[in-house]
Structure 1
Amino acid sequence: MKSMAIAGASFALTGLALVSTGAGDTAQAQALANHNSSAPVDFAAGSIEVQDRADRVVLAGDVRVTQAGLTVTAPRMTVAYTRSGGTDVNRLDATGGVTVVKGDERASGNVAIYDLDRRLITMVGNVQLTQRGNRLNGGRLVIDLNSGRATVDGRGAARGPDGNPVQGGTGGRVTGTFTVPERKQ
């Protein structure tokens, strides 16, 4: 298998700062792109299949990808790459229930796509974003590593790929819980 390096993935919620958009079904949290994208990437899976003619690698069976404190886990991932003077990873597609963890921050969803060229992580289906006691739930989460913005909306929350309602979905709305420190009265 050819040597591959994945250029940067990170998210860090700072206090899960919620910004009201007035739309009622979108929430934004502040995220920081402070991940060391030059760090080595480690893959672990039950099986790794290189599909060289298709410029992709398929990882299956308890897949775990780590880089500088960032961990992505899923039952299956496909890594797309190009070969222009070396091997350049462009995209990670993870399916079957995906979790992204860095420090005390965690994002989970049914499917995740990490577009390395655009520096976007998109998670769809039963999305949950947590930090300490704070939590946002929705249908889709987009983490923009360029701007440092994480957006949760209700798209994808109400229906699964078969068109039926998703168990535990939010019905197309964003919901959440925020912890409030005890105040002296």
Structure 2
Amino acid sequence: MTLFARALILTLALSAPALAQEANVAFGGLTQDTSLPVEITADTLSVNNADGSAVFSGNVLVGQGEMRLSAAEVRVDYATDSRAIERLHATGGVTIASSQDAAEAREAVYTIDSGLVVMTGDVLLTQGQSALTGQKLTLNLKDGTGVIEGGVSTTFLPGKN
């Protein structure tokens, strides 16, 4: 078998799972200690004591350890029994990044205790020179894994010998 034939078979074998409706991916660069403090900066803050939420808007940047989340608006939902942050709901050009990986979507919901981030709407995940697209990306920041769903598409770059 020629080198070209082997490379073609390997490329097709690697590409086939990514053309499906769902793909499992590793997010080693997006593992996160979810007990670290959450820091938020924005242009504006609105607080609603009635429903226990706060809305940050305009150039919002959320930091927790090495992870950064940016969006046009982030709603913070607090736990009913304490002032601990329960969930962040980001909308408007959401980007989550660490030193190695980045993901973009229309919106994202980050549930702090579970370490789950669910990104929806025109998701783009980049890892180095590789990219995956889909409609929904669920990241588990505690173990650095994820699942991308909904019309998953990717292009793998073949290694050079």
Q: Deviations over 1:101-157 (max 9, x none)?
A: 011210000010112233211111110111110110011101123554311111xxx
- 1:104 and 2:100 matched: yes
Letter in 1 for 2:115: R
List alignment gaps of at least 5 residues for structure 1.
1-17, 155-172
2:10 corresponds in structure 1 to none
- How far the C-alpha of 1:97 sits from its partner, in A, is 1.2
Give the whole-Å Cα distance in 1 for the aligned partners of 2:104 and 2:154: 14
Stretches of 4+ aligned residues off by more than 6 angstroms: none
Residue in structure 1 matched with residue 123 of structure 2 by the alignment:
127
Partner of 2:156: 178
What is the CA deviation profile of residues 35-77 of structure 1, one whole-angstrom value per residue up to 9, with x for unaligned ones?
2333332211010111122111100001001111110000001
AA aligned to 2:120 is V
Percent identical among aligned pairs is 29
Q: Which of residues 66, 72, 80 is equivalent to 1:75?
A: 72
Which range moved further: 52-61 or 109-118?
A: 109-118
Residue 87 of structure 1, CA deviation: 1.3
Map 1:11-160 to 2 at 5 A. Answer: 24-32=20-28, 34-84=31-81, 86-146=82-142, 148-154=144-150
Where do 5+ consecutive residues of structure 2 fail to align?
Answer: 1-13
- TM-score scaled by structure 1? 0.71
Gap change, CA 1:92 and 1:19, over 3 Å in 2 = farther
Aligned partners of 1:120 and 1:101: how far apart in 2? 15
| Equivalent-residue separation in structure 2 for 1:20 and 1:27 (angstroms) | 10
Secondary structure of the corresponding residue to residue 50 of structure 2: helix
Which deviations, in whole Å up to 9, do the C-alpha atoms of 1:77-108 show, x marking residues without a partner? Answer: 10000253x41111110111100001121000
Q: 1:87 is paired with a residue of what secondary structure?
A: coil
Q: Per the alignment, in what secondary structure is the counterpart of residue 53 of structure 1? A: coil
TM-score by length of 2: 0.81
Task: Indicate how the Cα distance of structure 1 residues 49 and 19 shifts in structure 2: closer, same or farther if over 3 A, else same.
Answer: farther
Q: Which has the higher contact order (CA 8 A, sep 6+)?
A: 2
Q: Are the counterparts in 1 of residues 18 and 153 from structure 2 also a CA contact under 8 Å?
A: no
RMSD: 2.2
Aligned to 1:13: none
d(CA) in 2 for partners of 1:19, 1:178: 7
Q: Secondary structure at the match of 1:54?
A: coil
